[in-house]
């Protein structure tokens, strides 16, 4: 499986989107996940969890090497029954992305959810404080999240979102940041925030056209 053609940038002037950067040849992405018991020597900065080499572990995301260069980026927000993109999760996603980017052995990433839903969207309980901070602060925060997704899009190998359930708002925008998406029959996706007069702020209006 090769990466698709480059999509329109959510940040046209952002660093890292030079013409042709994403045109380099890609190696095929495995379509079957396997448990790998014969792992290479564990670097001091990594951890082992069962049979898997952990590239990153945080309060919301973990990155586990499954073998053959495939990494599972799992969303499992601690202390909550669903996955939502609050500030903790967003910062953790970015840290996980940067940890994966530093590993030259990675050939592909599969984004999964450890909960019955994929991602329900942003944390609406944070909206009041965000809007009270003023327009400039809101714009700065939205731009930073777009930069996080750009860093993920810029990973030099195929990325796949395995959508197992509800995938809404910012969750769909994160899925759209992947090169490919696969959905279970129980999954649903959309931008329900538009019914509240809220524009998809993480680049979804651009990514869904690509």
Give tens-digit pLDDT for 28-55: 333 333 333 333 444 444 455 555 699 9
Three-class SS of residue 71? strand
Task: For residue 72, indicate whether it is catalytic.
Answer: no
pLDDT at 29: 36
pLDDT of residue 2: 66
pTM for the model: 0.76
41-56: b or e for each residue (b if 16 or more CB lie within 10 Å)?
A: eeeeebeeeeebbbbb
Q: What is the pLDDT of residue 196?
A: 81
Domain ranges of the chain: 47-207
pLDDT of residue 32: 32
- Of the residues 193, 201, 203, 204, which is catalytic? 193
3-class state of residue 182 by DSSP: strand
Q: Are 177 and 207 in contact (CB under 8 A)?
A: yes
Can you give the pLDDT at residue 84?
Answer: 96
* List of the chain residues with pLDDT < 70: 1-52, 209-210
pLDDT, position 207: 77
Q: In the block, which residue shows the tokens 């013409």?
A: 19
**What pLDDT shows up at residue 69?**
96
- Give me the helices (H) in 15-122, please: 87-101
- Per CATH, the number for 47-207 is 3.90.226.10
Query: From the candidates 63, 64, 89, 122, which is the catalytic residue?
Result: 122
Q: Helix or strand or coil: residue 18? A: coil
Active-site residue, 190 included: no
Catalytic residue among 170, 201, 203, 204, which?
Answer: 170
Q: What is the pLDDT of residue 182?
A: 97
Give catalytic status of residue 122 as yes or no: yes
**pLDDT given at position 197:** 84
Q: Identify whether 170 is a catalytic site residue.
A: yes
Give φ, ψ of 128 to 5 degrees: -60, -50
Q: Of 162, 165, 173, 203, which is the active-site residue?
A: 173
Per-residue tokens: 61: 């995301």
């Amino acid at each position: 499986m090769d990466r698709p053609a480059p999509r329109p940038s959510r940040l046209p002037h952002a660093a890292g989107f030079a013409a042709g950067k994403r045109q380099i040849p890609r190696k095929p992405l495995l379509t079957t996940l396997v448990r790998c018991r014969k792992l290479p020597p564990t670097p001091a900065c990594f951890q082992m969890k069962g049979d898997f080499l952990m590239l990153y572990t945080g309060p919301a995301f973990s990155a586990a090497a499954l073998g053959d260069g495939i990494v599972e980026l799992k969303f499992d927000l601690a202390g909550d029954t669903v996955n939502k993109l609050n500030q903790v999760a967003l910062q953790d996603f970015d840290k996980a992305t940067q940890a994966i980017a530093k590993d030259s052995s990675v050939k592909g990433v599969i984004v999964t959810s450890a909960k019955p839903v994929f991602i329900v969207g942003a944390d609406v309980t944070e909206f009041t404080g965000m809007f009270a901070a003023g327009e400039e602060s809101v714009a700065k925060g939205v731009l930073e999240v777009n930069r996080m997704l750009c860093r993920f899009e810029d990973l030099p190998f195929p990325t796949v979102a395995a959508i197992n359930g509800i995938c809404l708002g910012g969750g769909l925008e994160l899925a759209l940041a992947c090169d490919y998406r696969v959905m279970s029959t129980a999954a649903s996706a959309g931008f329900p925030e538009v019914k509240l007069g809220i524009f998809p702020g993480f680049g979804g209006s651009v990514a869904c056209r690509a």
